[in-house]
Amino acid sequence: MTKKRILSGMRPTGKLHIGHYVGALENWIKLEDEYQSFHLIADYHVLTTNLDTSSVYQNTIEMVIDWLSCGLDPVKSPFFRQSQIKEHTELYLILSMLITKSRLERNPTIKDQIRELNIEQVTYGHLGYPVLQSADILLYKGDLVPVGEDQVPHVEITREVARKFNQQFGEVFPEPSPKLTKFARLSGLDGNAKMSKSLNNTLLLSDDPDTVIKKMKKAKTDPQKVRRNDPGRPEICLVYTFHEKFNEENTAEIAEGCRSGALGCVDCKMQCSAKINEFLSPLIEKRNYFENHIAEVEEIIADGENRGKAIAMATMEEVHAVMKFG
């Protein structure tokens, strides 16, 4: 039986943080055996919110090094850039005829972005973000798309355009489903619900042990626990969520120490940092290797682009055939 296909993608924003690992990469890695996966580098999508393209390439390399360091396997699952496989833009154009402007204006993800980034006038391309994403998914006939909650509306739009295409021209595309990540999100070190580079509240996958300790020391804890012996509330403490993820075997003990007051925040943070550093240490070792072998990283991407391109071309041939083009 042929494996179902997964299309997973990320915009290249540079070095990744542990929230990316917990919310996405860990899951992508797990799914690589059961499914045929494709890992998309959504470099054109960067343009929707940022026209300065000067660091897109460097950011792509940094992101791919993090992917490799975490254990994504480019032999099993090709890595490729949207910008290098022209079929993405071709299918994007065709799909853009199959969805209305008002449907795209109702997309809650874009509404949030407009609010968060204070965008006054939204561009045609930004409005079309989910249409490009639909092309990304449908080109490879993805059955499943691993995403967080915020991307579910985009998968819904993908289903709609796939259905519309199939009805209008002929059955070419499967309707993909979102595959939600369980441990969806780690909060930022400042207590913000989102860990994000722009909020400067992250732990990077590439942070060295001292940096992790330094950042952790500043992390927000239960405001009621001021002194060491004060009882704390692990259930509202951000550092505790990091214990749950990276120090699972000791959570009961940590919670107990926090509640009774026996464990102070400084000690708790030191223990947590040690566990995180233990987790990061092999990643950093692999990162060092790839940083010194950039040509190898570039070859991995080039190979992924060859393999991706072959599938994309085959799909576009089917698309053109049912549309009676050529």
Which amino acid is it at 70? C
Interface segment toward ligand TRP; rule CB under 6 A; list 37-45, 160-168, 213-221, 226-234: 37-45
The count of residues interacting with ligand TRP (CB under 6 A) is: 14
Rounded to an integer, what distance in angstroms lies between the CA atom of residue 181 and that of residue 184? Answer: 5
Pull the structure tokens for residue 69.
């360091």
Based on the shown chain and the rule CB under 6 A, indicate whether residue 42 belongs to the binding site for ligand TRP: yes
Based on the shown chain and the rule CB under 6 A, indicate whether residue 258 belongs to the binding site for ligand TRP: no
> What does DSSP assign to residue 81?
E
State the virtual CA torsion across 11, 15, 21, 22 in degrees, nearest 10: -90
Rounded to an integer, what distance in angstroms lies between the CA atom of residue 217 and that of residue 89? Answer: 46
Closest separation in Å from C-beta 129 to ligand TRP = 7
Instruction: Name which position in 36, 83, 96, 133 contacts ligand TRP (CB under 6 A).
Output: 133
Closest separation in Å from C-beta 92 to ligand TRP = 11
Question: What separation in angstroms does the CA of 139 have from each of 20, 136, 212?
Answer: 25, 6, 40
Interface segment toward ligand TRP; rule CB under 6 A; list 69-77, 100-108, 129-137, 198-206: 129-137
Pull the structure tokens for residue 112.
């949030």
Interface segment toward ligand TRP; rule CB under 6 A; list 27-35, 117-125, 133-141, 309-317: 133-141
Of 137 and 186, the one with the shorter C-beta distance to ligand TRP is 137
Based on the shown chain and the rule CB under 6 A, indicate whether residue 40 belongs to the binding site for ligand TRP: yes
State the virtual CA torsion across 138, 141, 143, 149 in degrees, nearest 10: -20
Based on the shown chain and the rule CB under 6 A, indicate whether residue 159 belongs to the binding site for ligand TRP: no
Based on the shown chain and the rule CB under 6 A, indicate whether residue 136 belongs to the binding site for ligand TRP: yes
Based on the shown chain and the rule CB under 6 A, indicate whether residue 145 belongs to the binding site for ligand TRP: yes
Rounded to an integer, what distance in angstroms lies between the CA atom of residue 149 and that of residue 99? Answer: 22
Q: Which residue has the tokens 């890992």?
A: 39
Based on the shown chain and the rule CB under 6 A, indicate whether residue 138 belongs to the binding site for ligand TRP: no
Based on the shown chain and the rule CB under 6 A, indicate whether residue 49 belongs to the binding site for ligand TRP: no
Based on the shown chain and the rule CB under 6 A, indicate whether residue 151 belongs to the binding site for ligand TRP: yes
Closest separation in Å from C-beta 50 to ligand TRP = 13
Q: Which of 169, 168, 91 is nearest to 131 (CA)?
A: 91
Based on the shown chain and the rule CB under 6 A, indicate whether residue 9 belongs to the binding site for ligand TRP: yes
Q: Which of 95, 166, 106 is nearest to 133 (CA)?
A: 95
Binding site for ligand TRP (CB under 6 A): 7-11, 40, 42, 45, 133, 136-137, 145, 147, 151
